[in-house]
Amino acid sequence: MDRLCGSGELGSKFWDSNLSIYTNTPDLTPCFQNSLLAWVPCIYLWAALPCYLFYLRHHQLGYIVLSWLSRLKTALGVLLWCVSWVDLFYSFHGLIHGSSPAPVFFVTPLVVGITMLLATLLIQYERLRGVQSSGVLIIFWLLCVICAIIPFRSKILSALAEGKILDPFRFTTFYIYFALVFCALILSCFKEKPPLFSPENLDTNPCPEASAGFFSRLSFWWFTRLAILGYRRPLEDRDLWSLSEEDCSHKVVQRLLEAWQKQQNQASRSQTATAEPKIPGEDAVLLKPRPKSKQPSFLRALVRTFTSSLLMSACFNLIQNLLGFVNPQLLSILIRFISDPTAPTWWGFLLAGLMFLSSTMQTLILHQYYHCIFVMALRLRTAIIGVIYRKALVITNSVKRESTVGEMVNLMSVDAQRFMDVSPFINLLWSAPLQVILAIYFLWQILGPSALAGVAVIVLLIPLNGAVSMKMKTYQVKQMKFKDSRIKLMSEILNGIKVLKLYAWEPSFLEQVKGIRQSELQLLRKGAYLQAISTFIWICTPFLVTLITLGVYVYVDESNVLDAEKAFVSLSLFNILKIPLNMLPQLISGLTQASVSLKRIQDFLNQNELDPQCVERKTISPGYAITIHNGTFTWAQDLPPTLHSLNIQIPKGALVAVVGPVGCGKSSLVSALLGEMEKLEGVVSVKGSVAYVPQQAWIQNCTLQENVLFGQPMNPKRYQQALETCALLADLDVLPGGDQTEIGEKGINLSGGQRQRVSLARAVYSDANIFLLDDPLSAVDSHVAKHIFDQVIGPEGVLAGKTRVLVTHGISFLPQTDFIIVLAGGQVSEMGHYSALLQHDGSFANFLRNYAPDEDQEDHEAALQNANEEVLLLEDTLSTHTDLTDNEPAIYEVRKQFMREMSSLSSEGEVQNRTMPKKHTNSLEKEALVTKTKETGALIKEEIAETGNVKLSVYWDYAKSMGLCTTLSICLLYGGQSAAAIGANVWLSAWSNDAEEHGQQNKTSVRLGVYAALGILQGLLVMLSAFTMVVGAIQAARLLHEALLHNKIRSPQSFFDTTPSGRILNRFSKDIYVIDEVLAPTILMLLNSFFTSISTIMVIVASTPLFMVVVLPLAVLYGFVQRFYVATSRQLKRLESISRSPIFSHFSETVTGTSVIRAYGRIQDFKVLSDTKVDNNQKSSYPYIASNRWLGVHVEFVGNCVVLFAALFAVIGRNSLNPGLVGLSVSYALQVTMALNWMIRMISDLESNIIAVERVKEYSKTKTEAPWVVESNRAPEGWPTRGMVEFRNYSVRYRPGLELVLKNVTVHVQGGEKVGIVGRTGAGKSSMTLCLFRILEAAEGEIVIDGLNVAHIGLHDLRSQLTIIPQDPILFSGTLRMNLDPFGRYSEEDIWRALELSHLNTFVSSQPAGLDFQCAEGGDNLSVGQRQLVCLARALLRKSRVLVLDEATAAIDLETDDLIQGTIRTQFEDCTVLTIAHRLNTIMDYNRVLVLDKGVVAEFDSPVNLIAAGGIFYGMAKDAGLA
């Protein structure tokens, strides 16, 4: 280099230490300034060019119109190029005139000139590629300015020293160059207009990140506007930015799908290759192992899709890791500087500046890395959800049978989330070893082999940590089981709460829940103690490591002296080393979970799909709409065929009925026509569009109108016709919002009949060519069935002329069909017209004989329900029986599983999915619904999403639940721990300052002993505080859950009618989980980071009191950031969780309705729907990620300022400070950044989690019903003796503010009398029985039983003395014995006697478990009839003087009904029986009949007299064919 500068006026030296370092006015040699310094920016630009050009080539954003800004930038670039050339020509001019300039004067202008030309061209190229703000060029101009500042100062100093300017020409050109470069830097900070044709021009609320400038992106300043808005008012959906194109579902999912497709193709290619080998010798074939079939790898597909993000994040991570080691080196130099009084002061200022710069660079790069990796994680989740959704739309029914909806929802929610959680740690796989190696290398340099002692401690602690976390995991798994069973039990209690109240069974179930909760809390306590031990290890590790390393170092060799530099530099290196090692256990557990999830997802994606070609849609024999030629079908390859050798031809426009006994394959035939079954042989042809009405109506969670339109454009005339013909107009008057009423999940707020009619209206509106109707008339009343057949299906209906295939049990409609297909055992046994089949005495004639008895009443529903029950029984006894799928898609299992899943999934998203309790809407609820909705417009009150700050009273509530002493002692223990930590470090600082006597330190043992004692004290205090926290937290969890449970069990029925069970369950699952497991660790972390921050400030202030000056401004800045962040992030989190539930509700809804979606050909629309919901969720997740980065950058800036001022004030006060104190204060400052960041995070987490306490408290204070037992007023023993029931001037309303349901009813029933209660829907029949049990309390008047006013005694005294057989037979999961006698009051003989009388003994004795037979949830493994008989057995066991029978409507077949009526007549002969009758024939022999009309007594007399009187009862009897 010296030669390059030549001799002459520059002198030949390139570097001169005396000029540059050992002086108070440092400067660089002119040679250095003109060569290397001038070349640095040029080297940078040329190095970055290839990568940058590659990036620009692949990112075209549209071009930007040439603006004034662009012109100015270009002009500056050209001018700079000119200045460089002028310099070069001046050198040539000198050469010609014999002044021989040094070679550097030719090289530098040439290099700079070409680089300036490149920069100018780059400005224009970026404009054409749509770059609004160029980071590469900003850095280039910045480097140019920084490198020009030194010559700027030098030239002025040398001119002043010489008294004249030596080279006026170069002096002038340099300052022109400096001015131009400075202007270029300023201009490059302004961003260009958005490119033409960019999405921003169309977007109403684009994400500002896309158009943000370089510095704004680097510091996440673009987020500030949203942070301010979130601080001013709670954020709403409309405030959220739109997603950028590359984050949208359709883009991301498509990329992953393509990669997965490639994997599948490769796998199938390798399978074909292994399947067709060349034919070698026989022995070779025998010896060769069979090749394993290669499965496509989902992991590879993921890596392929996200390679660029992974590489980008790895680059950022590498730079950040390397920068992490700069500060300990600078600290080492700083301590040396303080120890050396002769060193020039500017060294110290330079070191402080470099420390600040290094920390700031580290902050900026770390957060770019995090942003990159979290956005990738978000895209990863989106892609996985999209791929699973698309797969779920096309899986075969056999796959669907193997995996429940809940399991599929889990794939989407839990497994996709696991991938998202593990992504941020993925780079640790290579960065952790790198950091460990670097740390050990630097430690070795300071302490020599002694460093290995510290490393050994860390390595030994890893398995200990691992063991603790493994043990915690096993506890967690056990505890999850308890939690699941508790939630399941709670869900059943909520679903059957009315039955529990009617039977007065609450105490039994209360005890069950408490028992489970007790076991759950015990495990929680054990897990929390382990957590405390793990915290102890984590806090003690750095201290133990330092202690052992320094101890070994001092004792190994007497000449080893511990000075400040060694002590504090090694301390800060150990702090760096601690982070990756502590993350490793987390990474390992994350990876194991992710690998399990990966396998689950991969298996699901490799499942069989339906063959779209199994139904021929193009060609068909002329004149026919549907043909099956020799068709054999099965539900799964491993099951025997369900349908075989079918030959069916259906002409266009025909109405075909399909009949046959239960399980003969009627629904399967419809499924085969839809292509839902696996075709083994034959040809199926279906020509034209298809509409399908399944046996179990599938209703979406959207408005009734949207359910009918089902994605088709609105045609008012056709729509009106569909509603009219399907008898929906009357229902619209009842529904609160007409056809805009939102239907709950699975049509929960519609009755079975209404759901079926909506499903039919959807088909009618679709105006398809072919209609496949799978028993649509079963769920509706007989007169409605007749209306629908006449108006819709029959020869005169709206569908006349279309091809209709009708599966039915209704005999009365068969004569009107064109022909009938009779199925038996999966084959067509007969086919032909009604009359022809009647004459041919075959299976059809038998079928008619079986069902004929019902015909006089046209009671198809009973027949069908009977059939349905048989189906259910079959499902249990013959799991492989074909009929399992006749009830497609195994709705019961699905509903059960789904309720469980959703309760745990929907966090605050309850506003979105308004689930109502799962019940059949019986007559009472219909009444209730009508009244309530008319009154209030909406039945379910919407839950309000909390906004704004959490009230202090909530924190106070939690502190009180923990115990105030406990709370106080935790804080004190933490304070003590911080004091011990400071003490230990101050002691270390004093030790390092010990005067060196004879080259060795004295009192080493004392120093080491005290240091160890202080450290151990710190560890013990940490452990104590963690244990105290566990005790407090478990107590709070117990008390809060107990209060909630007691209140809910005692809430009145009206509360459960107006609150969706999902919302109550959420309190018991999500909120209790937060109180159990999340709050305590959050509080501990908060205390930890708070005390660390405070102690840092104290240490720095103690060592350099001048620091006090900056504490206040920094605290104010920190406070500002914290206020803005917490408000915004809290609301973003709420929005995120609200928008998450709909993704999963929509998914589970889709899975249950895939056959309908496919039949109507709406798969594409549903993919778009799902993508929209996912994008909606991403819209709040993305700003939430950005908010964390924004916080990180700003808070770490405060931390970096602390480092800067700690170093700066140490330099200023160097004369009064010793090296030990400086080491102490700066090493503390280096740690503060992390603590400040965590503190805000934890404050925010605490705020969002403490809401759980608020929500639980809110439901622990709702109004309760009357006391269960009134000690001062107990009912006499054996009451009621006669069973005389009297209503005196009795009125009642459902809830305050609603109309009266019963008005001034006065009725007197003698003991032992049998009274039937009848009336139209909504007359108040069920209300009467509810009043008797005080489920509804009187508005006025009273009810007297045997002379005792029921309002004066406790609820349980009353309810336990009355007996009811409710309309809905609800059973609880557990043994049959528990379902009959939960309190264990009756003997085994009593129970068997009751079972015998209720005709259940044969069934129960046939079960191997007998009375311990396990009933499924809701009694799903018993038929509806059997469940009704169990309720009868309950009544027989209790056998009180008053029996209320709320007669089951169509839910029960005639045979069971006769059994029940017969038993009641014999067993309850001398009891008072009140029967709410739907079938009049059951009460025609009663003593009297009470007719209610609109809540008043219309008629009350014996049936004979009432018929003779010709009033309301006569009309009803006439309708039923009894008069």
Q: Is 1338 helix (H, G, I), strand (E, B) or coil?
A: strand
Q: Say if residue 665 carries a ligand binding annotation.
A: yes
In terms of domains, do 1339 and 1474 share one? yes
Q: Residue range 342-362: average pLDDT?
A: 92
Q: Say if residue 1321 carries a ligand binding annotation.
A: yes
**What is the number of helices (H) and of strands (E) in the chain?**
55, 22
Token reading at 1248: 């969002």
Q: Say if residue 853 carries a ligand binding annotation.
A: no
Q: Say if residue 1331 carries a ligand binding annotation.
A: no
802 occurs within a structural domain: yes
Bridge-based pairing state of the strands 1374-1375 and 643-651: unpaired
In terms of domains, do 193 and 250 share one? no
The domain of 1388 spans 1285-1520
**What pLDDT does residue 1069 have?**
84
| Contact (Cβ atoms closer than 8 angstroms) between residue 1158 and residue 393 | yes
591 occurs within a structural domain: no
Q: Is the pLDDT of residue 151 over 60?
A: yes
pLDDT digits (tens, 9 = 90+) for 579-617: 887 777 778 778 888 888 898 899 999 988 888 888 888
Strand ranges, E, within 1273-1337? 1285-1293, 1300-1309, 1314-1318
1266 occurs within a structural domain: no
Sign of the four-CA dihedral 521, 526, 531, 533: positive
**Using CA atoms, how far apart are residues 1442 and 374, in angstroms rounded to an integer?**
66
Token reading at 181: 């470069």
In residues, how long is the chain? Answer: 1523
Q: Say if residue 926 carries a ligand binding annotation.
A: no
**CB-based contacts of 1026, cutoff 8 Å, min separation 6:** 531, 532, 535, 536, 1084
In terms of domains, do 1337 and 1199 share one? no
Q: Is 1283 helix (H, G, I), strand (E, B) or coil?
A: coil
| Contact (Cβ atoms closer than 8 angstroms) between residue 270 and residue 294 | yes
1447 occurs within a structural domain: yes
Rounded to the nearest 10°, the torsion over CA 1502, 1505, 1510, 1516 is 30
Q: Say if residue 835 carries a ligand binding annotation.
A: no
In terms of domains, do 179 and 322 share one? no
Q: Say if residue 1479 carries a ligand binding annotation.
A: no
pLDDT digits (tens, 9 = 90+) for 744-782: 776 767 777 788 889 999 999 988 899 999 888 876 766
Work out the mean pLDDT of the chain and round it to a whole number. Answer: 82
**Using CA atoms, how far apart are residues 1499 and 1492, in angstroms rounded to an integer?**
7
In terms of domains, do 1450 and 1334 share one? yes
**What pLDDT does residue 272 have?**
81
Q: Residue range 1413-1429: average pLDDT?
A: 78
Among 1216, 1242, 1264, the domain-final residue is 1216
In terms of domains, do 43 and 191 share one? yes
In terms of domains, do 1372 and 1464 share one? yes
Q: Say if residue 738 carries a ligand binding annotation.
A: no
**What pLDDT does residue 918 have?**
34
Q: Say if residue 661 carries a ligand binding annotation.
A: yes
Q: Is the pLDDT of residue 928 over 80?
A: no
In terms of domains, do 1177 and 1307 share one? no
Token reading at 667: 């629904």
780 occurs within a structural domain: yes
In terms of domains, do 191 and 254 share one? no
**What pLDDT does residue 946 have?**
55
Q: What is the CATH number of the domain that holds 652?
A: 3.40.50.300
1063 occurs within a structural domain: no
Sign of the four-CA dihedral 755, 761, 767, 773: positive
Indicate the pTM of the whole model.
Answer: 0.78
Q: Is the pLDDT of residue 1505 over 70?
A: yes
Q: Is the pLDDT of residue 1059 over 50?
A: yes
pLDDT digits (tens, 9 = 90+) for 649-703: 999 989 999 987 766 788 889 999 998 888 888 999 998 899 999 888 888 888 8
Q: Say if residue 508 carries a ligand binding annotation.
A: no
Q: Say if residue 1322 carries a ligand binding annotation.
A: yes
Tally of domains in the chain? 4
Q: Say if residue 662 carries a ligand binding annotation.
A: yes
In terms of domains, do 176 and 253 share one? no
Among 1165, 1193, 1216, the domain-final residue is 1216
In terms of domains, do 187 and 251 share one? no
Quote the distance between the C-alpha of residue 1486 and its chain's center: 57
Sign of the four-CA dihedral 926, 928, 933, 935: positive
The full DSSP string for 528-567 is HHHHHHHHHHHHHHHHHHHHHHHHHHHHH-TT----HHHH
Q: Say if residue 675 carries a ligand binding annotation.
A: no
Among 849, 867, 898, the domain-final residue is 849
pLDDT band, residue 1182 (cuts 50/70/90): very high
- Can you list the pairs that 46-49 forms with residues at least 24 positions away whose Cβ atoms lie under 8 Å? 46/115, 46/118, 48/136, 49/118
**Using CA atoms, how far apart are residues 275 and 269, in angstroms rounded to an integer?**
10
In the beta sheet, which residues pair with residue 646?
631
Q: What is the CATH number of the domain that holds 403?
A: 1.20.1560
Closest CA to 1137 of 1044, 1061, 1037, 1248: 1248
Q: Say if residue 667 carries a ligand binding annotation.
A: yes
Q: Is the pLDDT of residue 1183 over 90?
A: yes
Rounded to the nearest 10°, the torsion over CA 564, 570, 574, 575 is 40
Residue ranges in 1375-1423 assigned as alpha helix (H)? 1376-1380, 1388-1397, 1401-1406
Is residue 1299 exposed (0-12), middle (13-18) or buried (19+ Cβ within 10 Å)?
A: exposed
Q: Residue range 1093-1112: average pLDDT?
A: 87
**What pLDDT does residue 857 have?**
37
Q: Say if residue 614 carries a ligand binding annotation.
A: no
Quote the distance between the C-alpha of residue 895 and its chain's center: 20
Residue ranges in 325-412 assigned as alpha helix (H)? 326-339, 345-392, 397-402, 405-410
**Using CA atoms, how far apart are residues 534 and 465, in angstroms rounded to an integer?**
7
In the beta sheet, which residues pair with residue 821?
658, 831
Helix (H) or strand (E) run with residue 451 in it = helix 451-495
Helices 428-447 and 307-324 pack at an angle, to 10 degrees, of 10
In terms of domains, do 192 and 252 share one? no
For the chain, what percent of residues have pLDDT higher than 90? 23
Please provide residue 1442's backbone torsions phi and psi, each rounded to the nearest 5 degrees: -120, 125
Please provide residue 1365's backbone torsions phi and psi, each rounded to the nearest 5 degrees: -110, 105
Q: Say if residue 193 carries a ligand binding annotation.
A: no
Q: Is the pLDDT of residue 1297 over 90?
A: no
**Using CA atoms, how far apart are residues 420 and 601, in angstroms rounded to an integer?**
14
854 occurs within a structural domain: no
**What pLDDT does residue 96 have?**
86
1270 occurs within a structural domain: no
**Using CA atoms, how far apart are residues 947 and 1248, in angstroms rounded to an integer?**
10
Bridge-based pairing state of the strands 770-774 and 803-807: parallel
**CB-based contacts of 955, cutoff 8 Å, min separation 6:** 1250
Other Cβ atoms less than 10 A from the Cβ of 821: the count is 23
